[in-house]
Chains A and B, each alone.
Chain A
Amino acid sequence: MAIYTNEMLESMKKVEAARAVNVTLDPRRMTAEEKDTLLKTYHPDYKEGEFTNLQIGPNKGDKVPLELAAILQANPRIDPEKVDLSNPDYDVDVLIIGGGGAGASAAIEANNGGANVMIVTKLRMGDANTMMAEGGIQAADKPNDSPAQHFLDAYGGGHFAAKKELVYKLVTEAPEAIQWLNDLGVEFDKAPDGTMITTHGGGTSRKRMHAAKDYSGAEIMRTLRDEVLNRGIPVVDFTAAIELIKDDKGAVAGAVLLNMETKEILIAKAKTVIIATGGAGRMHYQGFPTSNHYGATADGLVLGYRAGAKLLYPDTLQYHPTGAAFPEQTFGALVTEKVRSPGAMLNNANGEAFMNPLETRDVSAASIIRECSDRGNGVHTPEGVGVWLDTPMIEIKGGEGTIEKRIPAMLRMFAKYDIDIRKEPILVYPTLHYQNGGIDITTDGMSCVENLFVAGEAVGGIHGRNRLMGNSLLDIIVFGRNAGRNAAAKAKDVTVGKLNLDHVSAYKKEMEEAGIHSDIVSPKLLPDYRRHK
């Protein structure tokens, strides 16, 4: 079904011919200076023309991607003067916006904390990037490892820009997060004696990647979803939050909701709110394809920003080095880092192993872009360009059957197009994968806006300017639970005042005064892939 061009076939032969030698290589890691120059020259975050400075709001003057600026400085979906807030349709202690891993973790802990908690999600419960995380989850639980070593990897991998106290929380609560998941019934890969099977990810100095085959996120998500349902936590699905509501004390006190299909407007009143809306891949920054789920449109950033929440590092995105570049039907889909962990090498068009395959994601992505641009060593495909990821090496290094055992989802994805990754290498190119930045929080999970908590990919500052593989599944659990616990505790002391949308009116006024005329509305909610003639 997948039809290779002659150029691709010729190049594949070179990869095959070089495999016996390449499999013995361990290409040296780049020096700090080499990485620095590489990133500045080739990483998309450094393309000045793709960014602009915000003109209004808490981050006025800060640099953000053009596409993000357009939705942050856009019109609300409602007229704040005309929404009736006097008869809320829902009245809860904790309102969670988003039904992914962070939202589900928060819901379970808020429920443990005795709060009346409700989840709203614009698609189904579990429609989230969590579901698609393949590779694994980090935790320093082996004798040769320590939370301090994990700290060093995460902080260094994020270019020393992360908030240290958040990284501290991430790494010290990691083993307990794994235990919590295991106790809920998540099936981690284990040796017969119970030892967790752990591997490297890009940028890790110890093998601390825990996995559930290459369905790690799916296994975690479906288990959390099952637990949320077992507890009878209400889930209002196909319903988006389109604006936060505040009370007369300026604290966040609920959200305006939109039924995605009937377009009915509903009002949810809450003592505390948790934004767990996830990432932004479907914004297609700089025209990149994405590995993200359908609803990843940065909604939480828009909601929070209008309500006065400050963003941290909104200008840093993660381009996963190995998005599928071929065949067309898989374009942009994630090829998990777990393919490189057990030894698959990145090869250019000439079959040369041009880099160590376990550099951090930003360095790997920039290196692939360099190979395909200035160096002219990319393989041209009908859709663009890419480099080879030599998957058959996994079987050579790990023994026959390793691929089926460890990365069955990858085997299946390519087999649908008659590509047997046990025998043939695959073509990859960076794909938009993760929003490194997001809403700034303190260690209790709250933003600078009273009673507005944030968890998961919508948070900024945990990963600095680059996230390591396996630290996102970890962060949604650690900070999801944290936000749930703290939002539930905080709710006990909150008396909600009179509801209003004054901040939305004020934001509109600020836009007018800055001379911003936008013809779009936000949050975006869903991308539009319809063909427009």
Chain B
Amino acid sequence: MENMVHVFLMGKMYEVPSSLTIMKAIEYAGYQLIRGCGCRNGFCGACATVYRIKGDPELKACLACQTKVEDNMYIAMLPGFPLVKQIYDIEKVRPDETIMMQLYPEIYSCIGCNACTKACPQGLNVMQYIAYAQRGEYEKCAEESFDCVMCGICSSRCPAGISHPQVAMLARRLNGKYIAPKSQHLADRVQEIKEGKFEGMIEDLMGKPLSEIQELYNTREIEK
């Protein structure tokens, strides 16, 4: 006999096996998800969820696909939490402090309550990466926010109205494009290909009889 627990989905009680994730419990209860379900593996942030355990006043947040149900869990999903995404041209912006001031000035209204960090289902130090963004330290902001799945739970808890995932998104793009060191070998190879350096080599390979290509493949040297 499976161990069953009681959960409250948007207020209604259901009895579900204790081994299930919240997402599977919702399906077990009979719902076919359309919103609030994406990759089912903790990468996409579609299933942002808040809950309370009966008797405990603390509001907790999680990804429904990554969290097991508990007895007397009161569950509400936050699909499509409204984040503010500003429009910009990545070719025209520059990785200086003014860009955050222009696009996301509300980050400077952070009151340091740390509710974002406490709520992050990825365990990120959200308030810290916002502090880096305030100071224009985009490399650090990018690193600190890298595992963000943009579920928006941090924003739902923010008294200053900050859209943390979008701030971090901008910081990562600035870092990836402008701050991270350039890859000379990549630029060289793109240029060589443009100049047609490899055309003959591949066409020669493609033109060989199958048996010869097979032989080349089976005996090719593998880099250690």
The chain A residues found within 8 Å of chain B, CB to CB, are 1, 29, 31-32, 123-124, 126-127, 131-132, 139-144, 146-149, 151-153, 155-156, 160, 164, 168, 171-172, 175-176, 178-179, 182-188, 190, 192-196, 200, 205-207, 213, 215, 217-219, 222-223, 226-227, 229-230, 232, 238, 260-261, 291, 293-294, 328-329, 333-334, 408-409, 412-413, 416, 526, 528-531
- Give the distance in Å from the alpha carbon of A276 to the alpha carbon of B38 in the complex: 17
Q: Is the CB of B216 within 8 A of A195?
A: no
Q: A155 to chain B: which residues have CB within 8 Å? A: 213, 217
Q: Given the complex, which residues of B lie within 8 Å of A227, measured CB to CB?
A: 90
* B contact residues around A222 at 8 Å (CB): 150, 169
Task: For B190, list chain A residues within 8 Å (CB).
Answer: 141, 175-176, 179
Contact, CB under 8 Å: B180 / A205: no
**In the complex, how many angstroms separate the beta carbon of B26 from the nearest chain A beta carbon?**
9
User: Quick check: B39 and A294 within 8 Å, CB to CB?
Assistant: yes
Please name the residue on chain B nearest to A183 by beta carbon.
B177
| B201 touching A148, Cβ below 8 Å | yes
- The answer on a CB contact under 8 Å between A179 and B41 is no
Does the CB pair A328–B223 fall under 8 Å? no
Find chain B residues with CB under 8 A from A413 CB.
41-42, 66
- Taking the closest CB of chain B, its distance from the CB of A491, in whole angstroms, is 24
B94 contacts the other chain (CB 8 A): no
Chain A CB within 8 A of B202 CB: yes
- Pairs across A and B, CB under 8 Å, 6 listed: A131-B38, A132-B41, A205-B223, A213-B146, A219-B172, A329-B66
User: How many Å from the CB of A468 to the closest CB on chain B?
Assistant: 12
Give the shortest distance, in Å, between A305 (CB) and chain B (any CB). Answer: 25
Q: Which residue of B lies closest to A295 (CB)?
A: B38
Cβ 8 A contact of A187, one of B20, B147, B176, B205: B176
Interface SS, B side:
loop
Interface range on chain B: under 10, 10 to 19, 20 to 34, or 35 or more? 35 or more
Q: Which residues of A contact B59 (CB under 8 A)?
A: none
Q: Are A187 and B175 in contact (CB under 8 A)?
A: yes
B183, A195: Cβ atoms under 8 Å? yes
Contact of B1 with A by CB under 8 A: no
Judge if B11 is at the interface, Cβ distance under 8 Å. no
- Specify which chain A residues have a CB less than 8 angstroms from the CB of B222 in the assembled complex: 29, 205
CB <8 Å contact, A226 and B169: yes
- Contact in complex: B217, A156 (CB < 8 Å): yes
Nearest CB of B to A456, in Å: 16
With A and B bound together, what is the CA distance between A153 and B217 in angstroms?
7
Q: Do the beta carbons of B180 and A190 come within 8 Å of each other?
A: yes
B202 in complex: contacting residue of A168, A195, A293, CB < 8 Å: A168
Find chain B residues with CB under 8 A from A190 CB. 180-181, 183
Q: Per-position contact with A for B1-45: 1 when CB-CB < 8 Å, else 0?
A: 000000000000000000111001001111111110111111110
How far is it, in angstroms, between the C-alpha of A28 and the C-alpha of B160 when the chains are bound?
Answer: 59
List B contacts of A185 (CB < 8 A): 90, 172-177
- A192: which B residues are within 8 A, CB to CB? 181
**CB proximity to A under 8 Å, residues B115-169:** 122-123, 142, 146-147, 149-150, 169
How many angstroms from the CA of A293 to the CA of B21 in the assembled complex?
Answer: 16
Chain A nearest CB: distance from B21 CB in Å? 5
Given known contacts A141-B189, A222-B150, is B214 in contact with A186 (CB within 8 Å)? Answer: no
Min CB distance B204 to A, Å, is 8
Residues of B within 8 A of A218 (CB): 43-44, 149
List, in ascending order, chain B residues with CB within 8 A of A230's CB: 87-90
8 A Cβ contacts from B175-195 to A: 175-177, 180-187, 189-190, 193
Q: Give, as a whole number of angstroms, the nearest-CB distance from B139 to chain A.
A: 10
